[in-house]
Structure formats: C-alpha cells, structure tokens
Amino acid sequence: MPQVASGDITLHYTTHGHGDPLLLIHGGWGLGINGFHFQAKMLASDFRLITPDRRGYGQSTPVSGFNADFHWQHAEDMLKFLDALPLADVRVWGHSDGAIIGAIMAILAPRRVRALVFEGGHLYNRKTESLLQMQQVYADPNSLPEAARVKLAHYHGDDDWPQVIRNWAGAWIELYQRDGDLYHDRLAEIRCPVLIVHGAHDEHTPVSEMEELARRIPQARLVIYPDGGHSLHDQRETRAACTQLVQEFFSAA
C-alpha cells in the first residue's frame, strides 16, 4: 500500500485502474465500512481510482481527536496529498464526511476539482437526527453492533478503532454547538459541476437539507434514490445505478 507525506502526517492510499484520476474520499468510520470496492471494479477501465485513508484512519497517521473544523483540516490534507502525488486536478467522489471534504476542496482550490459527486453528505453543523447516536458511541464505542465492531477492528486495528470512533463522534458533538452550515456560507464559491446523490431513507440527513444544499451551489444537480439509504455506492439495491450515473457524470466533466 503506497504512502505519501502530507504536511505533518503520512497518508496511505490504494489505486485501481487507469485513466484520469478520480479521488474517492471515505466517510466517518473509514474504508472498513462502506468502502468503494464495487467502484474499484466498475470504474477501473475509465479512471484511475485513488483512495486514501484520511488522517486518523486505517494505516494513515493516528490522531487523538478531531475538532469542529476537522472537515477543513482534512480538505487541506487532501490538497497537499494531490501536491505530493503530484496531480494538478482531479474528479472527486466523497461519501458522508468525505462529501463535505470534497466540497470544501472545491471552495479552497476551485481549479483542483474538475467535478464533484456529493453522496450522503450534510449541510448544517447541527445534526439533530444523529446527536443521540454520536453521544452514545462517544461514551461507549462498544455499543456499536458486533458486525460493525469486527469490521472497524479489522481495518483500524483492535486497539485503535475505539479512538477512531471517538474522534468522529466527538467532533460532531462539538459541531452541534454551532449555528449555520459546515461551509462557512461559501458554497456559492464552488465553480465545478456537482452531482448530489442522496437516499430518501438516509437516517442522518433529510432530503429537504440536500435540496437546500443544491440551491446554494451554482452548478448542482440533485438526484434522490427512493430506495436509498446513507451509502448509495455500497448498498446492494442502489450501487449499480448510482455508479453508472456517476460514471456518466464524470465522463462528461
């Protein structure tokens, strides 16, 4: 598994396929859950898929906590990661926290992001739908279902996975104290085409929130999957259709 130095950390990553680079950014539990395995097979003939572990995840540099601005920090990490490879610009597909990070990359460095797929993401700092879950898993990561604990331990390590979960949950608990959105009211600065894909049954973010997000981004298209949940790319019922749509979107970008 290759790695690069990115500022004060080392980021491990995998690559699949050939063609123009496509950066895949994982969500809050890391690639051990809701990974991009299906996409690595389906898109490898069209794109070079690059999938890093973010700081504090997997085999990248561990950390002992995230603060409420961690999405911005991780966006800076990803831009430094592109510098290190080096890549002038990329298409980006972000899931959940990764979607937020991808959008912030497009705000910070408009010329570096050619097109963005924003999947299962969020608009507001306060996630009322998820606050209780965040508080519970922060207090006791072992309260997660056994299947999730096994996957998290396999990916992050038996001793490290509880801290990974506390980092994530603690930052969102801190974010709940803030008004406004996660993007510092800068979504209108995004200049690349954006495809927002969202499940009607996403337990973390209502459709109305994504409708508002789409309204704030100049070149955004919103597609709702009636049978979809939080992880369209990894959900058996939606992954094929979602991946095909993304392939078509990126091919035109």
> Does residue 30 sit within a domain?
yes
Q: What angle do CA 114, 115, 117 make, to 5 degrees?
A: 150
Residue 65 C-alpha from the chain's centroid:
18
Query: How many domains does the chain fold into?
Result: 1
Query: What six digits make up the tokens of 179?
Result: 């008004």
Q: Domain range holding 75?
A: 3-123+182-252
Inside any domain, residue 158: no
For 183, the token pair is: 């993007």
Q: Which residue intervals of the chain are DSSP H helices?
A: 37-42, 70-84, 97-108, 131-139, 146-156, 161-175, 207-216, 239-252
Neighbours of 236 (CB within 10 A): 7
Cβ within 8 Å of residue 132, ≥6 positions away: none
Q: Would you call 143 helix, strand, or coil by DSSP?
A: helix
CA 122 from chain center: how many Å? 10
Distances (CA, A) of 81 to 7, 92, 95, 218: 9, 13, 18, 27
145 phi and psi angles, rounded to 5 deg: -60, 150
Within a domain: 176:
no
Tens digit of pLDDT per residue, the chain (253 long)? Answer: 799 987 789 999 999 999 999 999 999 999 999 999 999 999 999 999 999 999 999 999 999 999 999 999 999 999 999 999 999 999 999 999 999 999 999 999 999 999 999 999 999 999 888 899 999 999 999 999 999 999 999 999 999 999 999 999 999 999 999 999 999 999 999 999 999 999 999 999 999 999 999 999 999 999 999 999 999 999 999 999 999 999 999 999 8
| Domain presence at residue 130 | no
Domain-located, residue 144: no
CB neighbours (10 Å) of residue 133?
16
Q: What is the CATH number of the domain that holds 241?
A: 3.40.50.1820
DSSP 8-state symbol, 249: H
Paired tokens of 77: 């990490």
Q: What is the pLDDT of residue 208?
A: 98
Bridge partners for 94 per DSSP = 25, 118
Answer yes or no: is 166 within a domain. Answer: no
Residue 61 gets which letter from DSSP? P
Which pLDDT score, from 0 to 100, does residue 244 have?
98
At 90 the three-state DSSP class reads: strand
In a domain, 54, yes or no: yes
Q: What sign does the CA torsion over 16, 105, 134, 229 have?
A: negative
> Does 169 fall in a domain?
no
